[in-house]
Amino acid sequence: MLKQVSTSVTTRLAVTTISTSLVCVVTMVFSVYVPQTRGFFNLGETMVFVSALLFGSFVGGSAGGVGSMLADVLLGFWYYAPATLAIKACEGGIVGVFCGRMPKSSSKLFWKVFTFSVGLMLGILLASVGSFYYSGTVELRIGIPPPENPNVVFSIPSMLWYVLGTCVFLLMTLTGFALDPQFGWLVFTTLIGGAAMVTGYYLYQKFLLFPLFGVEAIAEAEIPINIGQMLIGLIVAVPIVKIVLRSLSQFKS
């Protein structure tokens, strides 16, 4: 079972400040502009999830909300900043809360089946969203601030996402059956928080942002973008958390 770090008020404030800075930097350093919604794809979810899984809802919510909002402002997406503060704070808070409330069950079979099911769902989601929305030519803008012209342009075959989805499913199944039966709960909590983020941005764009500014854009276009952002953040964050917990014994106390 994952046990989040118990800290003093001073330490918690320091950790929150550092986590907030990391969320902001990671969000800014890698971004892909999405013309359909005037938003951008980024890797900020990675640090939001890491902060919440390691340090709980307060740090995860504070770092996720404030760090992501600062990135929006600094990158020029100020019209997303108010919503980002609330949405990313909820995302980090939800992950932190659910992570610390794992169902009490001593049955290894239950947890193995649970991890298998979550792995299957994650693999299918990654393969379907990736192959449909993230295949073809991709333009990347890397740097702070991102340059006007892309640094890298390359093509992604749809088959790659099917392979990645299969690998994620197999790795989760292997981990659940051989190493950590409760591993699926760690992934499940990030999926819940990520779903809140996807829903929050959709509602903000659909009923407030686009009507308020008279923008002719489709809020539904952002859904697969945010799902992909969530999935990549999850796939990167969960191994980082497991490595930290194995390497630093104080994170288990």
**pLDDT tens for each residue of 5-14:** 555 778 888 9
Res. 36: pLDDT tops 90: no
Residue 232 CA to its chain's centroid (Å): 7
Instruction: Give a yes or no: residue 4 inside a domain.
Output: no
Tokens 């194995």 sit on residue: 246
Instruction: Give a yes or no: residue 243 inside a domain.
Output: yes
Instruction: Give a yes or no: residue 2 inside a domain.
Output: no
Q: Which tokens go with 185?
A: 């709960």
Between 159 and 155, the more confident residue is 159
Total number of domains constituting the chain: 1
Instruction: Give a yes or no: residue 3 inside a domain.
Output: no
Residue 35 CA to its chain's centroid (Å): 21
Mean pLDDT of 29-39: 69
Instruction: Give a yes or no: residue 184 inside a domain.
Output: yes
For 63-95, the pLDDT digits (tens) are 999 999 999 999 888 999 999 999 999 999 999
Sign of CA dihedral 181, 187, 193, 196: negative
Which domain range does residue 118 map to? 9-252
Length reported for the chain: 253
The CATH code of the domain that includes 190 is: 1.10.1760.20
Instruction: Give a yes or no: residue 1 inside a domain.
Output: no
Res. 137: pLDDT tops 70: yes
Comparing 4-8, 113-117, 133-137, 217-221, the range with the smallest average pLDDT is 4-8
Among residues 195, 229, 204, which one has the least CA distance to residue 79?
204
Identify the pLDDT of residue 222: 84
Question: What is the crossing angle of helices 158-174 and 183-204, to 10°?
Answer: 140
Res. 250: pLDDT tops 70: no
Residue 153 CA to its chain's centroid (Å): 24
Among residues 177, 161, 158, which one has the least CA distance to residue 123?
161
Instruction: Give a yes or no: residue 43 inside a domain.
Output: yes
- Determine what percent of the chain is predicted with pLDDT higher than 70: 87
Distance CA 130, CA 118 (A): 18
Between 125 and 35, the more confident residue is 125
Instruction: Give a yes or no: residue 240 inside a domain.
Output: yes
